[in-house]
Amino acid sequence: MKNTLYFLALSVSLILTSCTSNEQDSMPLSPQFEKKEVNDINLPYNYLQSFDEVSNVKVDYQMEKDGLILLVNTGSQKIKHMYAVIEQHGVPVMVFLGSSDDKKYFVKGINVSRSISIRIYGGFKDDTQLVNTIPYSPSTVFNNIAVQGWASSDSYIKVSSTKFPAGLIHLYTELKTKKGNVLVFLGRPAEEDFEIPKYGDLGIADLKLFGNTAYKFTKAN
Protein backbone atom coordinates (compact mmCIF):
# COMPACT_ATOMS: atom_id res chain seq x y z
CA MET A 1 0.00 0.00 0.00
CA LYS A 2 2.85 2.38 0.85
CA ASN A 3 4.57 1.57 -2.45
CA THR A 4 1.36 2.29 -4.35
CA LEU A 5 0.95 5.70 -2.68
CA TYR A 6 4.62 6.54 -3.37
CA PHE A 7 4.39 5.79 -7.08
CA LEU A 8 1.09 7.70 -7.32
CA ALA A 9 2.67 10.80 -5.73
CA LEU A 10 5.71 10.51 -8.00
CA SER A 11 3.49 10.31 -11.09
CA VAL A 12 1.55 13.44 -10.08
CA SER A 13 4.84 15.30 -9.47
CA LEU A 14 6.16 14.36 -12.92
CA ILE A 15 2.93 15.50 -14.60
CA LEU A 16 3.03 18.89 -12.84
CA THR A 17 6.72 19.37 -13.73
CA SER A 18 6.01 18.56 -17.37
CA CYS A 19 3.12 21.05 -17.53
CA THR A 20 5.24 23.81 -16.02
CA SER A 21 8.04 23.14 -18.49
CA ASN A 22 5.65 23.24 -21.45
CA GLU A 23 4.18 26.56 -20.27
CA GLN A 24 7.66 28.10 -20.07
CA ASP A 25 8.63 26.80 -23.52
CA SER A 26 5.44 28.22 -25.04
CA MET A 27 6.15 31.82 -23.88
CA PRO A 28 6.23 34.07 -26.98
CA LEU A 29 9.47 35.84 -25.98
CA SER A 30 12.33 34.78 -23.79
CA PRO A 31 13.25 37.36 -21.11
CA GLN A 32 16.46 38.51 -22.81
CA PHE A 33 14.60 39.38 -26.03
CA GLU A 34 11.56 40.72 -24.22
CA LYS A 35 13.68 43.45 -22.64
CA LYS A 36 14.79 44.56 -26.10
CA GLU A 37 11.36 44.74 -27.69
CA VAL A 38 9.08 45.94 -24.89
CA ASN A 39 9.28 49.50 -23.59
CA ASP A 40 10.89 49.62 -20.14
CA ILE A 41 9.73 52.37 -17.77
CA ASN A 42 13.36 52.77 -16.66
CA LEU A 43 14.46 53.68 -20.19
CA PRO A 44 13.91 57.11 -21.75
CA TYR A 45 13.11 55.66 -25.19
CA ASN A 46 12.07 52.48 -26.88
CA TYR A 47 14.91 50.26 -28.07
CA LEU A 48 16.20 51.56 -31.45
CA GLN A 49 14.51 54.97 -31.10
CA SER A 50 16.18 57.04 -33.83
CA PHE A 51 17.03 60.73 -34.21
CA ASP A 52 17.73 62.09 -37.68
CA GLU A 53 20.44 64.65 -38.31
CA VAL A 54 18.81 68.07 -38.45
CA SER A 55 19.31 69.90 -41.74
CA ASN A 56 19.05 73.65 -42.32
CA VAL A 57 20.35 74.41 -38.85
CA LYS A 58 22.73 77.23 -37.94
CA VAL A 59 25.27 76.38 -35.26
CA ASP A 60 27.87 78.66 -33.69
CA TYR A 61 29.93 78.42 -30.52
CA GLN A 62 31.73 80.61 -28.01
CA MET A 63 34.43 79.63 -25.56
CA GLU A 64 33.93 80.24 -21.85
CA LYS A 65 36.30 79.62 -18.95
CA ASP A 66 34.68 76.37 -17.86
CA GLY A 67 33.21 75.12 -21.10
CA LEU A 68 31.55 75.81 -24.41
CA ILE A 69 28.46 77.80 -25.34
CA LEU A 70 26.53 76.44 -28.31
CA LEU A 71 24.19 78.72 -30.23
CA VAL A 72 21.73 76.60 -32.21
CA ASN A 73 19.07 78.07 -34.49
CA THR A 74 16.75 75.48 -36.04
CA GLY A 75 14.46 78.06 -37.65
CA SER A 76 10.86 76.89 -37.81
CA GLN A 77 11.80 73.31 -36.89
CA LYS A 78 10.49 72.46 -33.42
CA ILE A 79 12.70 69.86 -31.79
CA LYS A 80 11.63 68.22 -28.54
CA HIS A 81 14.82 66.30 -27.71
CA MET A 82 18.01 67.63 -29.29
CA TYR A 83 21.50 66.12 -29.23
CA ALA A 84 24.83 67.43 -30.50
CA VAL A 85 27.88 65.42 -31.53
CA ILE A 86 30.96 67.62 -31.08
CA GLU A 87 34.15 66.39 -32.72
CA GLN A 88 37.63 67.85 -32.28
CA HIS A 89 40.86 66.21 -33.50
CA GLY A 90 38.81 63.15 -34.42
CA VAL A 91 37.63 62.63 -30.83
CA PRO A 92 33.83 62.99 -30.50
CA VAL A 93 31.52 63.52 -27.54
CA MET A 94 27.74 63.62 -27.54
CA VAL A 95 25.70 66.13 -25.55
CA PHE A 96 22.01 66.23 -24.71
CA LEU A 97 20.97 69.86 -25.24
CA GLY A 98 17.24 69.88 -24.47
CA SER A 99 14.59 71.38 -26.74
CA SER A 100 15.14 73.77 -29.63
CA ASP A 101 13.28 76.51 -27.72
CA ASP A 102 16.35 77.40 -25.63
CA LYS A 103 18.68 78.20 -28.57
CA LYS A 104 21.65 78.77 -26.23
CA TYR A 105 23.34 75.89 -24.40
CA PHE A 106 26.31 75.73 -22.04
CA VAL A 107 28.37 72.53 -22.10
CA LYS A 108 30.67 72.33 -19.09
CA GLY A 109 34.10 70.75 -19.34
CA ILE A 110 34.61 70.97 -23.11
CA ASN A 111 37.58 73.09 -24.12
CA VAL A 112 38.14 73.87 -27.79
CA SER A 113 41.58 74.83 -29.06
CA ARG A 114 40.87 74.49 -32.78
CA SER A 115 37.91 74.39 -35.13
CA ILE A 116 35.40 71.69 -34.37
CA SER A 117 32.71 69.77 -36.20
CA ILE A 118 29.19 69.90 -34.74
CA ARG A 119 26.32 67.69 -35.86
CA ILE A 120 22.79 68.19 -34.50
CA TYR A 121 20.28 65.35 -34.09
CA GLY A 122 16.70 65.68 -32.93
CA GLY A 123 13.34 64.15 -32.20
CA PHE A 124 10.62 66.52 -33.36
CA LYS A 125 7.69 67.64 -31.21
CA ASP A 126 5.15 65.75 -33.34
CA ASP A 127 6.94 62.44 -32.70
CA THR A 128 4.49 60.45 -30.56
CA GLN A 129 7.26 58.04 -29.51
CA LEU A 130 8.88 60.73 -27.36
CA VAL A 131 7.44 60.83 -23.85
CA ASN A 132 6.65 64.17 -22.22
CA THR A 133 9.77 64.12 -20.08
CA ILE A 134 13.25 65.49 -20.45
CA PRO A 135 15.33 62.29 -20.42
CA TYR A 136 18.54 63.91 -19.16
CA SER A 137 19.63 67.09 -17.48
CA PRO A 138 20.52 69.72 -20.11
CA SER A 139 24.17 69.54 -21.21
CA THR A 140 24.57 65.91 -20.11
CA VAL A 141 27.75 64.62 -21.79
CA PHE A 142 28.04 61.14 -23.31
CA ASN A 143 31.64 60.07 -23.75
CA ASN A 144 32.89 58.20 -26.78
CA ILE A 145 33.38 54.46 -26.37
CA ALA A 146 35.96 53.15 -28.81
CA VAL A 147 34.82 50.62 -31.40
CA GLN A 148 37.23 47.75 -31.98
CA GLY A 149 35.42 46.56 -35.07
CA TRP A 150 32.08 46.30 -36.81
CA ALA A 151 30.56 44.56 -39.84
CA SER A 152 27.14 44.68 -41.48
CA SER A 153 25.42 41.43 -42.41
CA ASP A 154 21.98 41.53 -44.06
CA SER A 155 19.94 43.90 -41.85
CA TYR A 156 22.20 43.52 -38.80
CA ILE A 157 25.34 45.33 -37.67
CA LYS A 158 27.73 43.30 -35.55
CA VAL A 159 29.69 45.52 -33.18
CA SER A 160 32.68 44.90 -30.93
CA SER A 161 33.57 47.73 -28.55
CA THR A 162 36.20 48.30 -25.92
CA LYS A 163 35.26 47.51 -22.33
CA PHE A 164 32.21 49.46 -21.17
CA PRO A 165 32.94 52.01 -18.43
CA ALA A 166 31.85 51.08 -14.93
CA GLY A 167 28.28 52.14 -14.25
CA LEU A 168 27.32 52.52 -17.92
CA ILE A 169 23.62 53.39 -18.07
CA HIS A 170 22.68 54.09 -21.69
CA LEU A 171 24.38 53.55 -25.01
CA TYR A 172 23.81 55.37 -28.31
CA THR A 173 25.30 54.88 -31.75
CA GLU A 174 25.87 57.46 -34.46
CA LEU A 175 25.57 55.80 -37.86
CA LYS A 176 26.84 57.38 -41.05
CA THR A 177 24.95 55.76 -43.92
CA LYS A 178 24.43 56.27 -47.64
CA LYS A 179 21.01 57.71 -46.81
CA GLY A 180 22.31 60.18 -44.21
CA ASN A 181 23.36 60.24 -40.57
CA VAL A 182 21.22 58.96 -37.72
CA LEU A 183 21.53 58.64 -33.94
CA VAL A 184 20.07 55.45 -32.44
CA PHE A 185 19.30 54.55 -28.81
CA LEU A 186 20.60 51.08 -27.87
CA GLY A 187 19.59 50.82 -24.21
CA ARG A 188 22.40 48.96 -22.47
CA PRO A 189 23.78 45.88 -24.22
CA ALA A 190 24.74 43.08 -21.84
CA GLU A 191 28.15 42.61 -23.46
CA GLU A 192 30.70 44.55 -25.49
CA ASP A 193 30.00 42.29 -28.49
CA PHE A 194 26.43 42.87 -29.68
CA GLU A 195 24.21 43.26 -32.73
CA ILE A 196 22.13 46.20 -33.96
CA PRO A 197 19.14 45.07 -36.05
CA LYS A 198 17.34 46.90 -38.88
CA TYR A 199 20.21 49.20 -39.91
CA GLY A 200 22.72 46.85 -41.53
CA ASP A 201 21.39 47.22 -45.07
CA LEU A 202 21.57 51.04 -45.19
CA GLY A 203 25.16 51.14 -46.44
CA ILE A 204 27.03 51.89 -43.21
CA ALA A 205 30.17 53.99 -43.72
CA ASP A 206 31.07 54.68 -40.09
CA LEU A 207 29.85 53.90 -36.59
CA LYS A 208 30.48 55.60 -33.25
CA LEU A 209 29.32 54.75 -29.72
CA PHE A 210 28.47 57.12 -26.87
CA GLY A 211 27.59 56.25 -23.28
CA ASN A 212 26.72 57.97 -20.00
CA THR A 213 27.12 56.87 -16.40
CA ALA A 214 24.62 59.12 -14.60
CA TYR A 215 20.90 59.24 -15.29
CA LYS A 216 17.60 60.61 -14.05
CA PHE A 217 14.24 61.64 -15.47
CA THR A 218 13.39 65.35 -15.38
CA LYS A 219 9.85 66.60 -15.78
CA ALA A 220 9.29 68.82 -18.78
CA ASN A 221 8.11 72.37 -18.24
Instruction: Name the residue ranges covered by the structural domains of the chain.
Output: 50-219
As a whole number of angstroms, the longest Cα–Cα distance in the chain is: 91
In this predicted structure, what is the pLDDT of residue 147? 97
Query: What proportion of the chain, given as a percentage, has pLDDT over 90?
Result: 52
User: CB atoms < 10 A from the CB of 73, how many?
Assistant: 13
How do residues 93-149 score in pLDDT, each as one tens digit? 999 999 999 999 999 888 776 668 999 999 987 777 776 778 899 899 999 999 999
pLDDT at 73 over 90: yes
pTM given for the model: 0.77
What is the reported pLDDT for 12? 40
Q: Phi/psi class of residue 103: alpha, beta or left (left: φ > 0; alpha: ψ in -120 to 50)?
A: left
